Amino acid sequence: MTNRRQFLAAAASAPFLTSAPLTHGIIDAHTHFYDPSRPQGVPWPPKTEPILYKTTLPDRFRKIVAPLGVTGTVVIEASALFEDNQWVLDLAKDNPIIVGFVGHLEPGKPEFKDHLARFHRNPLFLGIRLGERPLGQGVQDAPFIADMKRMADANLELDVIGSPAVFAHTVRLTNQVPNLRIVIDHLPFDSQNNDAFRELGQRPNVYAKVSGVLRQSGASVPTALAFYRKSLDELWTNFGVDRLVYASNWPVSDKLAPYKNVVEVVQTYFAAKGPEAAEKFFWKNSKAAYRWVDGRAKA
């Protein structure tokens, strides 16, 4: 394994585009690790995605991000296979760049309580992720809401993913479980500035994960901030300095641009916001949202 001290020293000395370097280094709050060469294979990504369908483990990530100042990551589930929750947690044991894991469980099912108790025993298990459809259906069901309250009582969080319709579902969930911390994945959206989006901006336990900035425009992917400023300004206006969270969505981001481009666009944006805002965006807000484990990734 790469020498830990050498890795952190390189990350701490990496160039940063704000007026002062970060005191902690960057925490990337959205990556996926998987290994298609396992005997059982992987349910995602498909073999038809050559950029993604390759062994994607912490060593590969570390080599890419250390020169850019990234010292840790929250891994997000990439598999509906139940035991793949344990696979990622086992991977984390020998890879301190992983500061936490958001898994895949099914709230509302009779077995959810026991499954949650099993994985919650590991401090690296930080919460679960839900898609738009199960979230929209679940907010109408009492067993689902009971499990969401169970998550909140356990001090775990919920990632949600989907289209702009996920905003309204999230409003309904927070109406019923206001103390549950929720992170909305892959913002900004093309059409995000609606009533539900603005309402979530007023709810202190809802965080906006800025992991979907770069996008295709015609035949190219712009890397200049000017192309993305309006949508980033909408996030800043609604969620403010305390609830915007940096993330890359690596390796999916490789389909658009190298990691360096992903981080530099938001570094440029936050350079104008000042050192305090940069500290919060690049690591403090993810700590507040996820309660990831201290002492594993620290510059």
| pLDDT tens digits along 68-82 | 999 999 999 999 999
Across residues 265-280, what is the average pLDDT? 96
CATH 3.30.110.60 fits 4-290, yes or no: no
Residue 47: Cβ-neighbour burial (10 angstroms; 0-12, 13-18, 19+): exposed
| Nearest-10 Cα torsion for 83, 86, 90, 96 | 130
Residue 136, CB-side half-sphere exposure with 13 Å CA sphere: 11
Please check the confidence at residue 298 and state whether its pLDDT lies above 50. no
Across residues 268-295, what is the average pLDDT? 95
Residue 110, C-beta contacts closer than 8 angstroms, at least 6 positions apart: none
Please check the confidence at residue 241 and state whether its pLDDT lies above 70. yes
Angle at 142 between CA 139 and CA 147, to 5 degrees: 80
Across residues 89-95, what is the average pLDDT? 96
CB count in 10 Å sphere of residue 222: 16
Q: Determine how β-strand 244-246 pairs with β-strand 206-210.
A: parallel
Please check the confidence at residue 14 and state whether its pLDDT lies above 80. no
**Using 50, 70 and 90 to split pLDDT, how confident is the model at 24?**
confident
Q: Note the pLDDT tens digit of each residue in 201-229.
A: 999 999 999 999 999 999 999 999 999 99
Higher pLDDT, 24 or 224: 224
Q: Where are the domains of the chain?
A: 4-290
**Using 50, 70 and 90 to split pLDDT, how confident is the model at 1?**
very low
Low-confidence winner among 8-22, 136-150, 151-165, 233-247 (lowest mean pLDDT)? 8-22
Higher pLDDT, 190 or 102: 102
Structure tokens at 91: 């991977």
Please check the confidence at residue 11 and state whether its pLDDT lies above 50. no
**Using 50, 70 and 90 to split pLDDT, how confident is the model at 90?**
very high
- How confident is the model at residue 6, as a pLDDT? 46
Percentage of the chain surpassing pLDDT 70? 92
Residue 196, C-beta contacts closer than 8 angstroms, at least 6 positions apart: 167, 168, 170, 171
Q: What is the pTM of this model?
A: 0.93
**What's the chain's average pLDDT?**
92
Question: What is d(CA 54, CA 34) in angstroms, rounded to the nearest whole number?
Answer: 8
| Nearest Cα residue to 96 out of 264, 284, 299 | 299
Question: What is d(CA 96, CA 98) in angstroms, rounded to the nearest whole number?
Answer: 5
**Using 50, 70 and 90 to split pLDDT, how confident is the model at 34?**
very high
Percentage of the chain surpassing pLDDT 90? 88
The sheet with strand 244-246 has its strands ordered as: 26-31, 70-76, 98-103, 125-131, 157-161, 181-184, 206-210, 244-246
Please check the confidence at residue 194 and state whether its pLDDT lies above 60. yes
Using DSSP, state whether 154 is helix, strand or coil.
coil
Residue in this structure with the two tokens 């990337």, named with its chain if needed: 28
Rg (CA), the chain: 18
- How confident is the model at residue 16, as a pLDDT? 55
Question: What is d(CA 174, CA 183) in angstroms, rounded to the nearest whole number?
Answer: 12
Residue type, 243: R
